[in-house]
Each structure stands twice: as C-alpha cells, then as structure tokens.
Amino acid sequence: MDAIIDLLQQNALMPRADMARLLDRDLAEVESAIAKLEAEGIILGYQAIINREKWDTEKVTALIEVKVVPERDGGFDRIASRIAKFEEVQSCYLLSGAYDLLIIVEAANLRNAAAFVSEKLSTIEGVQATATHFRLKTYKENGTLHQWDSAPDRLSVTP
C-alpha cells in the first residue's frame, strides 16, 4: 500500500501496468489495491498541478489568516466547515499559533478575492479578525518545482 501511494503521489497517471512492473506485482493486485484506497477514502481525488505563470494568469491566490472564537461545543469545527464550503476556498487548515484557521482562496481577480473576504468571510459570526496575503509567485507546489533543475549532462557511456 505504501509503495502504491508513493507512486501515485509521484504521478497519479502512471499506467497501472507500469506500476505492477515497478513493484513486481500483478496488474490485478495493483488495480484492486488502488480501488480499495479510493473506496476507503484514503485517496480523495487526483488533480493536475497547473503552472499559474502560464495559465489563468489573472487568477489570484490569497492565504488568509483567520482568528475565530471557538464554540463551547465543537470548538472550531463548525465555523471551519462553514468556511470550507465556500467554492472560493481551496484549502482550510486549523493551526496552532497566533491565529486559528489558515485558508487558501482562489478568485478570478483581486476584486473578487477582496469581496470574498469583506462580504463573506468577515461577516461570519465568530470570525474575529482576518489578515490576507496575496501570492506573488510560485516556486514550488505540491512537491513540484516550477522552475526545473536543468537535467545534469551525463556522459553517454561510463564504466
């Protein structure tokens, strides 16, 4: 299982027959293991990693720190899930430290992002304060560097 997850994280599109050869197992074994991971909700989905310098360049990404008042029953869960349900919110984490929630918001442009913060996020009861940071440039995302190391030039035959 660990090895299959490892391969999927490197490249979810890798042909399953290749995976079977790499792990020295049968194709059917690999396929059923992946099906099981999906059924059990261990694998939640597969996504492409987009280079934002080249596609949808107008889109903005904001990292928003949110301070909230925890509730007596359920702590942060109710407010967090309420925030997470907004389509603009790509990710939502509860953190230790100076603020409570970190959310990552994607919006078509700056105006939309600002509107989301001022009209939706800040007005939720229990949200005390927010601080918004806009992404200026991406260097690495989900383990993928946006600027590639140049492939080292190797001699074509060496002992």
Query: Please, which residue, 19 or 105, has the CB nearer to another protein?
Result: 19
Residue 7 contacts residue 19 (beta carbons within 8 Å):
yes
For the purposes of burial, counting CB atoms within 10 Å of the CB of 155, is it exposed (0-12), middle (13-18) or buried (19 or more)? Answer: exposed
Query: Please, which residue, 7 or 127, has the CB nearer to another protein?
Result: 7
C-alpha torsion angle, residues 33, 37, 38, 43 (rounded to 10): -130
- The contact set with another protein (CB under 8 A) reads 3, 6-7, 18, 21-24, 149, 152, 154-159
**CB of 158: closest distance to another protein in angstroms?**
5
What gap in Å lies between CA 39 and CA 80, rounded to an integer?
Answer: 25
**CB of 12: closest distance to another protein in angstroms?**
15
Query: Please, which residue, 11 or 122, has the CB nearer to another protein?
Result: 11
What gap in Å lies between CA 146 and CA 77, rounded to an integer?
Answer: 34
* Structure tokens, 123: 């007005």
**CB of 5: closest distance to another protein in angstroms?**
13
**CB of 152: closest distance to another protein in angstroms?**
5
Query: Please, which residue, 98 or 151, has the CB nearer to another protein?
Result: 151
**CB of 84: closest distance to another protein in angstroms?**
33
Query: Please, which residue, 55 or 139, has the CB nearer to another protein?
Result: 139
